[in-house]
Structure 1
């Protein structure tokens, strides 16, 4: 049973990382698009 939980833990981490990276990228590109439309720099 411990092997099952360890395997599940190892397989879930990439999904958590991918979801976090997706959320960060989505927010970045949204801000970037808004800045370009307003004619200002992102920084």
Structure 2
């Protein structure tokens, strides 16, 4: 493996984790805000 390919492979994982965390967080806060507007419990 070249140095560039190995570096790209290693750096992809934090980006993937950040994207997944962003999607989960965005969904959570949307549902939380909607429940709050309706006056319901989140759980």
Same fold at TM > 0.5: yes
5+ residue gaps, structure 1, are: none
| CA-CA distance at 1:11 after TM superposition | 0.7
Q: Which runs of 4+ in 1 moved over 2 A?
A: none
Question: TM-score, normalised on structure 2?
Answer: 0.90
The aligned residue for residue 31 of structure 2 is 31
Q: CA deviation at 1:6?
A: 1.5
Q: Normalised by the size of structure 1, how large is the TM-score?
A: 0.90
CA RMSD of the aligned region, Å? 0.7
